[in-house]
Amino acid sequence: MMRKTFIHHDGALGDLLLSLPVITLLRKKTGFVHLAGGIEAVELLLEAGMIDEASSAGSVRYVSLYGDAVMSGLRDFLSGFDCAVVFTTRMDSALVRNIASVVSDTRIVLTIPPQGVQKHVAEFRSHQFTYYADLVDPPRLSLPSERMEQARKYLCSAGHDFSRPLISVHPGSGGARKCWPTGSYCELLAKLRHWRDPFILLFSGPAEEESVSDVLQAYIVNNPGRSAHIRNAELALVSAHLCMSDLYIGNDSGISHLAASLGIRSLVFFGPSDPVLWKPLGGNVRVVQSGMECVPCGDEKSRECRERKCLAAVSVESIYAAARNHLNDACV
């Protein structure tokens, strides 16, 4: 029997994708999931067929969840659900109390393990359900054929004839302290160009520093017909382009988690964050870290670090070798 389930998850893209195993399992068990979250991310999951309905957790509709009482319109909406699941860092928040006041069968999923617990966050979240054993492999996103054709046409118009490897690169992140130096990315792309002359697809979004976007645009100007820059595109279109890639290279970011969820062979740089907890899901992901003793230091310490030696210490040569191995495997 179907049980309509309301899920509230206001985490960023990467955090939401780390919850996707639980969301997928809940949909399998209940038959219907409405997901309230970041609007672009939930619309992507809706288009990928991973959920049944979507709404923006930041919309006016949900404002009263953070106050003393739930507004009548929202109360009527929530009362149409049989159960609710709230992904949160706090069990005693007004958000949790207000949803539970309307939907009696409300479950809380704590999103971050207690300090000292070295368990991947996806595993930590799924183990809060008694039927977590039903989880097998991380769910893989797929896009409708129309969306894939849209990406293919764009790549063709940019000069890609699909006769050579396609490498997608996202050199940005939500925080500069998580980024491999932009200059190192440029050196890497130059080395790869001389090896197999791949088509380079560069990504940037609103979170990137303007200087990074300027460097990417300069690369496009200097490599016409061999590269393209996807800037501030909707996530579904970004996903479709990633799907066509033979290799993805990026930092610890939401786009890296997206590439992993699409099954793309990926090289992902980790500096202050701990990949034991935060590694993107999937068997095609290789984490790249330096051997410095301070790695990982965590968010608080990384904010005080001005030099970011941990990421600068990762050599271009080592990533070039790893990229070649990944490409050789992908093209076999």
CATH number of the domain that residue 128 is part of: 3.40.50
CA angle 273, 137, 120 (to 5 degrees): 25
Ordered per-residue pLDDT tens for the chain, 332 residues: 789 999 999 999 999 999 999 999 999 999 999 999 999 999 999 999 999 999 999 999 999 999 999 999 999 999 999 999 999 999 999 999 999 999 999 999 999 999 888 899 999 999 998 776 666 678 999 999 999 999 999 999 999 999 999 999 999 887 778 899 999 999 999 999 888 899 999 999 887 777 787 888 888 888 888 999 999 999 999 999 999 999 999 999 999 999 999 999 999 999 889 999 999 999 999 999 987 877 776 665 656 666 678 898 999 999 999 999 988 766 55
Domain boundary, last residue among 134, 156, 191: 134
What is the residue range of 318's domain? 148-330
Q: Is residue 155 in a domain?
A: yes
Indicate if 98 and 240 belong to the same structural domain: no
CA distance 151 to 117: 41
Indicate if 267 and 127 belong to the same structural domain: no
For residue 149, what are its two tokens?
């054709």
- Of 248, 236, 149, 154, residue with least CA distance to 198: 248
Domain tally, the chain: 2
List all residues 6 or more positions away from 228 whose beta carbon is below 8 Å from its beta carbon. Answer: 154, 155, 158, 159, 160, 199, 200, 201, 202, 220
SS3 of residue 223 by DSSP: coil
Indicate if 159 and 83 belong to the same structural domain: no
Tokens 């004839």 map to which residue? 161
